[in-house]
Amino acid sequence: MTIRELKPGIYYVGVIDWDRRLFDELIPLPNGTSYNAYLVMGSEKVAIIDTVDSARREELIGNLQRLKIERIDYVVANHAEQDHSGAIPTVLELYPEAKIVTNMRCKDMLIDLLQVSSDKFITVNDGDSLPLGGKTLEFILAPWVHWPETMFTYLREYSILFTCDFFGSHLAASDLFVVDDVKVYEAAKRYYAEIMMPFRMMIRKNLEKIKNLEIEMVAPSHGPVYSKPEFILNAYREWVSDNVRNEVVIPYISMHGSTGKMVSYFVNALIERGVTVKPFNLSKTDIGELAIALVDAATIVVASPTVLTGPHPNVLYAVYLVNILKPKLKYVSIIGSYGWGGRMLEQITGLLTNLQVEFLKPVIVKGYPRVEDLKELDRLADEILRKHRELGITTASSSF
Ligand code: FEO
């Protein structure tokens, strides 16, 4: 049981998932996660804000029973994805008088995903409010963080903003509130990188929308609650800004050592020029670590051997992910090796259509790199340094 009281009559009733290690069968969860649901008890009405993954619905129901909740009037759905909406049908079974409160777009999605009857809904628009008796919920439509129907719920009297995925972190922790700033920062940055980064421009609009809201607490539906909201607000402002760092990310694979030699030489060449380098061996790396590095980096250099006629498949997979995550990179290049031919360059550049970047002259060598090939890597390192200098970002800076 994980019941905690945030404020009088406002309870955390969610579930901590300590052991989950994969989300969407794609995203690594090194620190587990949580599905946060919040019970808000007014003098006249009771609302629950978001639910939990259907696999953990029994624990949510256990929390409500332990609190001896006999009636729920409203189930507020900030987001239709099943890790928050999955237990809605169970809540409705147990509390048949409850109505789902959400926007029209989310209603349609919940009907599709959960096959809930349309007469179970109360739809709200941007700015609408719902009095509970001494506590008032206000709804702020915030589309595309990270689905089209996402919204926030603001509890006026306590200035608590319930943001669902937005500002969240996949982090199982026994503390209700942020205690370990560094750990939460890393987890929230990972979450931003994997889930939110493709929607950077929409996030800017939504940050602008809540700019003048008095916020004392941010309560997301994954990870700890922020009792000092500026911590996460400032982090998001930086991540969605156009600022990039003097960093080069190098996702790579080497099969017989040729590309490995190039990467090793190139990493040292960049270090000697004062550039921060983040190499990721794709046969070993957690792709979340790669995603985090892409939040701030100015440049990516993809390194691959040639397999049959193209890049190594692990490189193609990574490049595909980079493209859909839409990081704010400025420069791209490619280095690697081939045996007898192939179309590696075209295949990699053809996958990076979402990026607004300048492609720097690649370094592709036949077989094991010779002295003149290594000089070409120096030439590329020089060019990257010059480009970074033009951006005014040659000073290494810490991320926290
Ligand atoms: Fe945590 Fe988009 O679901």
| Single-letter amino acid code for the residue at 388 | H
The whole-number pLDDT of residue 397 equals 54
Q: Is residue 321 part of a domain?
A: yes
The verdict on 230 and 255 lying in the same domain is no
| pLDDT over 60 (residue 21) | yes
Is 70 exceeded by the pLDDT of residue 396? no
Examine residue 196 and state whether it is found in any structural domain, yes or no: yes
Alpha carbon separation from 347 to 253, 322, 351 (Å, rounded):
16, 14, 7
**Domain C-terminal end among 240, 274, 289:** 240
Shared domain for 270 and 233, answered yes or no, is no
Q: Are residues 229 and 270 in the same domain?
A: no
Query: What's the rounded Cα separation, in Å, for the pair 168 and 61?
Result: 23
202 found inside a domain = yes
Residues 74-114 pLDDT 10s: 999 999 999 999 999 999 999 999 999 999 999 999 999 99
Which pLDDT band holds residue 22 (cuts at 50, 70, 90)? confident
- Residue of 56, 123, 124, 122 whose CA lies nearest to 91: 56
Q: Say whether 196 sits in a helix, a strand or coil.
A: helix
Which atom of ligand 1 lies closest to the CA of 35?
1
- The answer to whether residues 344 and 380 belong to one domain is yes
pLDDT value for 254: 97
Q: For residue 370, what are the contacts with CB-CB under 8 A and spacing of at least 6?
A: none
**Ligand 1: residue whose CA is nearest its atom 1:** 165
Of 182, 213, 240, which residue constitutes the final position of a domain? 240
Q: Are residues 214 and 276 in the same domain?
A: no
- The range of the structural domain enclosing residue 191 comes to 4-240
* Same domain, residue pair 340 and 361: yes
Our answer on whether the CB atom of 79 is closer than 6 Å to any ligand 1 atom is yes
- From ligand 1's centre to the CA of 163, what distance in Å? 11
How many domains in the chain? 2
Q: What is the pLDDT of residue 2?
A: 83
CA of 25 to the centre of ligand 1 (A): 13
Over the stretch 106-141, which tens digit does the pLDDT of each residue have? 999 999 999 999 999 999 999 999 999 999 999 999
| Residue identifier of the C-alpha nearest atom 2 of ligand 1 | 81
CA of residue 165 to ligand 1 center, whole Å: 5
Q: What is the pLDDT of residues 272-316, one digit of tens each?
A: 999 999 999 999 999 999 999 999 999 999 999 999 989 999 999
Percent of the chain past pLDDT 90, that is, above it, reads 95
- In short, whether 373's Cβ falls inside 6 Å of ligand 1 is no
Mean pLDDT of the chain: 96
Q: Is the distance from the beta carbon of residue 53 to the nearest atom of ligand 1 less than 6 Å?
A: no
CA distance readout (Å), 65 to 70, 96, 309 = 8, 15, 61
Residue 342: what pLDDT?
85
Q: Is 170 in the pocket of ligand 1 (CB under 6 A)?
A: no
- Same domain, yes or no, for 229 and 252? no
Last residue of a domain, one of 207, 240, 273: 240
pTM: 0.96
Index of the ligand 1 atom closest to the CA of residue 79: 2
For ligand 1, whether the C-beta of 83 sits within 6 Å is: yes
**Residue 397 covered by a domain:** no
